[in-house]
Chain A
Amino acid sequence: DAGVIQSPRHEVTEMGQEVTLRCKPISGHNSLFWYRQTMMRGLELLIYFNNNVPIDDSGMPEDRFSAKMPNASFSTLKIQPSEPRDSAVYFCASSLEAGAQETQYFGPGTRLLVL
């Protein structure tokens, strides 16, 4: 399997622009996670989907952030409008089922820079 695929790998944008990050989970995995990694806060969970349904979005920082999973093989994380403090590395991860004992497989991440 190709693993979790994320695009783009790097994104540079200007403040106020819309940013869309994309993720293709591992085929057959029912759980999908979006994480953000910053120096200040480390790696934190933004949102969790199970069977394409958002289960926990308590980590989404504010209304400028939204995430969708229209089908089992695709998810997006959108920031509109983007701000410099959104600069971070965003990871998508998937697991076969929900639960801590299910290994989460991470994508390579999208490094976002908002100027």
Chain B
Amino acid sequence: DQQVKQNSPSLSVQEGRISILNCDYTNSMFDYFLWYKKYPAEGPTFLISISSIKDKNEDGRFTVFLNKSAKHLSLHIVPSQPGDSAVYFCAASRSGGSNYKLTFGKGTLLTVNP
């Protein structure tokens, strides 16, 4: 049973436009959410995170929005750049003894066209 779902395997946008990547989760115990970016032949790298006590976190061109009632989060990239082309993974964790454990979605391949 997939607890973190990224329903769009791929997304293509034009340079300079907004990229919106979506993620849904089913486990209401999740209270911390992260986005990782992965280039080919490299490991995932941390991008941005958000705690469930917030509904928005911004870092430069990247903003993550959290809608707890809908169990939905999204990553906005504005403006998109060709270097943003990568696979983006959504991940979630819960407080408590297993707070080290990240549950990942399967990823969305973002292509930013020049």
Interface of A, helix, strand, loop or mixed by DSSP: strand
Q: Are A99 and B43 in contact (CB under 8 A)?
A: no
Q: Are B98 and A104 in contact (CB under 8 A)?
A: no
Q: Are A104 and B107 in contact (CB under 8 A)?
A: no
Q: Are B93 and A109 in contact (CB under 8 A)?
A: no
Which of these binds chain A: B18-26, B44-52, B58-66? B44-52
Contacts of A109 in B (CB 8 A): 41-43
Q: How large is the interface on A (under 10, 10 to 19, 20 to 34, 35 or more residues)?
A: 20 to 34
Interface of B, helix, strand, loop or mixed by DSSP: loop
Q: How large is the interface on B (under 10, 10 to 19, 20 to 34, 35 or more residues)?
A: 20 to 34
Nearest B residue to A111 via CB reads B41
Nearest A residue to B92 via CB reads A100
**Distance (whole angstroms) from the CB of B39 to the closest CB of chain A:** 10
Q: Are A31 and B100 in contact (CB under 8 A)?
A: yes
Partner-B contacts on A (CB < 8 A): 4, 31, 33, 42-45, 48, 50, 55-56, 91, 93, 95, 98-109
A-B contact list, 5 entries, CB within 8 Å: A50-B100, A100-B100, A100-B101, A101-B32, A104-B46
Contacts of A48 in B (CB 8 A): 100-101
Instruction: Check: B76 CB closer than 8 A to any chain A CB.
Output: no
A42-B104, A42-B106, A43-B104 given as contacts; is B99 within 8 A of A98 (CB)?
yes
